[in-house]
Structure 1
Amino acid sequence: MDMNNTQRFYQYFSQWMELYKLGAVRSVTYKKYEMTAKQLTKLAPELKMSELTRLSYQQLLNDYAETHERQTTMDFHRHLKSSLLDALEEGLISRDPTRKAIIKGTPHQQHKIKYLHQYELQALLNELHLEGEVNWDYFISLIAKTGLRFAEALGVTPEDFDFAHQTLTVNKTWDYKSSEGGFAPTKNDSSVRKIPLDWQSVIQFSQLTKGLPEDKPIFVNGKIYNDTVNHYLERLCKRAQVPVISVHGLRHTHASLLLYAGVSIASVARRLGHSNMTTTQQTYLHIIQELENQDNDKVMKHLASLI
């Protein structure tokens, strides 16, 4: 590392990131460090290591927080703090400028999730051609019926299906964001799961996977782009005359239909591979509240009938 007092903070962070994080963390995580480096360079291109104080560091955080939510600012701070604690240990700085830092941020935006209602999903599924060789229609059908994440669905191989027991095992993803691709771990331990399949999917995929290599991903043939599938899905939505949603919107649609059907939050969380029910509750809060209101009406009617 450069011991020069004139070294800029962003230069130190970039060197630190390459030395300690490159190859030690997943590529998707390393991309977040790269984003931090980019933001740091933009916000404080002249800030030297020798000029780092609690005041200058707090100003840097405040500048970042003007256009980012608090949680995002917290992530930015964690990355910088990790590098600066190493700099302190190496004697490049004499004090920890991150001590007692105040994390601010713009108000949290409640992003209303986009999903289709049951009759809209049915109209979309009616547009799919599930005959013959592998195509994106099968991919869309699989996510709509299982709630898989995009990378999880790409990672599905024929041997993941247990047609006799009507289940699909999810134990890996496909790293579509890297140039070389390849299998990658699931998002978290809870994402490793067995998903029960409906009988239609069992019939469709038992036919589709006949003769395909057991351990090779069904839907991967060269470089995969999220936008390619989303644009294809957009055309299908327009043809079906339903609201345009993304592939991730299919996952939301799957979860929403289960909740409206009365499936418990715990079961939905397990099926989606959420690490805890809190994630499910936060994501589908407006649906859960709507269902609670309906439950309250049922309770009142029931109590009234007891008189």
Structure 2
Amino acid sequence: MQRAVYDRLIYFNPYDGVELQYKNLKEPQKAQYLPKDKIKPFLDLVKKRNIHQYYMFRRMIETGIRVGEANALLWSDYNNKEKTLSITKSYDQKKDQWNPIKNKENRTIYITYDLAKELTKLKYLQNANRIVNEDMYNSDNDCTFYNAFDDPLPRSTTHNTMKQITEKLLGKDNALSIHKLRHTHATLLLVSDVPMKVIQERLGHKTMAVTEQVYSHVTKQMNQKAKDDFEEFINKTKIFLLFCTHFAPKRVYL
């Protein structure tokens, strides 16, 4: 437009004073997540609102699986003896189609005994729903995260639950999407000093560089903690060496 003014094609630039807003795609995006002290209140509120969503959200927090992977999980993917989940597929509810997982690399995730107990409770709940809603129950499905009639949990209701409860806990401008439950899991692993390679494999990232980039904000905190721990170790070592030097027995030469 400015060039058009210069060439006398127009008399003035109608875009003078307009400020362009843009997003730097090269700049790594920080992963938002539920703070550790908000996880229990979050799950408690979800449980009161919808018990089936509670089981889904809890598993996502404790495993870091994607929402499509969660929707695709079958009971046959769960090994109760080994306490593992086999992540081999994804379900796109909007298109109603089954897809391979994002990086097309299947993975096995170990779960805690507490989560295994919750899955047992979910199985009991589904069996009860099968009896109570026998006439309308879709018994052909083997999916773990379905509603009382064994139908998929609607994307709109799970989205609304996530948005409204995180707004209540974190403030109106801090609502989180369901995908942030995955980030919550990864952050918990990082602050627990789980090796980055293990986290990469658990999340199903193609390379460790992806994991490091997405969670760079956490690794900075970890580096600071490592620095503080090292300084503390050095200081203790100095005190120990001074102690040994002061109280060391003197040699006597004959």
TM-score (norm 2): 0.70
Is 2:74 the partner of 1:157? yes
State the 1:264 CA deviation: 0.9
Q: CA RMSD in A?
A: 2.9
CA contact under 8 A between 1:159 and 1:214: conserved in structure 2?
Answer: no
Aligned to 1:277: 208
Is 2:223 the partner of 1:292? yes
Identity across matched positions, percent: 23
Q: Distance in 2 between matches of 1:144 and 1:130?
A: 18
Q: Distance in 2 between matches of 1:275 and 1:226?
A: 27
Q: Distance in 1 between matches of 2:140 and 2:197?
A: 32
Cα-to-partner distance string for 1:78-109 (whole Å, 9 max, x where unaligned): xxxxxxxxxxxxxxxxxxxxxxxxxxxx5634
Matches within 5 A, 1:26-41: none
CA contact under 8 A between 2:71 and 2:152: conserved in structure 1?
Answer: no
Aligned to 1:217: 143
Q: Distance in 1 between matches of 2:112 and 2:214?
A: 25
Q: Distance in 1 between matches of 2:25 and 2:102?
A: 27
TM-score (norm 1): 0.58
Is 2:154 the partner of 1:236? no
Alignment CA distance shift 1:273-1:198 (3 Å) = same
Aligned to 1:171: 88
State the 1:306 CA deviation: 2.3
Alignment CA distance shift 1:151-1:121 (3 Å) = same
CA contact under 8 A between 2:28 and 2:214: conserved in structure 1?
Answer: no
CA contact under 8 A between 1:158 and 1:215: conserved in structure 2?
Answer: no
Alignment CA distance shift 1:163-1:170 (3 Å) = same
Task: Point out the structure with max Rg over C-alpha.
Answer: 2
Cα-to-partner distance string for 1:238-281 (whole Å, 9 max, x where unaligned): 45457532111110001001100111111111111111111100
Aligned to 2:32: 114
Q: Give the number of equivalent residue pairs.
A: 202
Residues 210-219 or 119-128, more deviating: 210-219
Alignment CA distance shift 1:223-1:257 (3 Å) = closer
Partner SS state of residue 274, structure 1: coil
Aligned to 1:76: none
Q: 1:194 aligns with which of 104, 108, 111?
A: 108
CA contact under 8 A between 1:173 and 1:185: conserved in structure 2?
Answer: yes
CA contact under 8 A between 1:161 and 1:168: conserved in structure 2?
Answer: yes
Q: Which amino acid aligns with 2:113?
A: W
Partner SS state of residue 288, structure 1: helix
CA contact under 8 A between 1:260 and 1:291: conserved in structure 2?
Answer: yes
Runs (5+) with no aligned partner, structure 1: 1-65, 70-105
CA contact under 8 A between 1:159 and 1:215: conserved in structure 2?
Answer: no
CA contact under 8 A between 1:166 and 1:198: conserved in structure 2?
Answer: yes
Runs (5+) with no aligned partner, structure 2: 1-19, 131-138, 239-254
Higher relative contact order (CA 8 A, sep 6+): 2
Residues 108-117 or 158-167, more deviating: 108-117
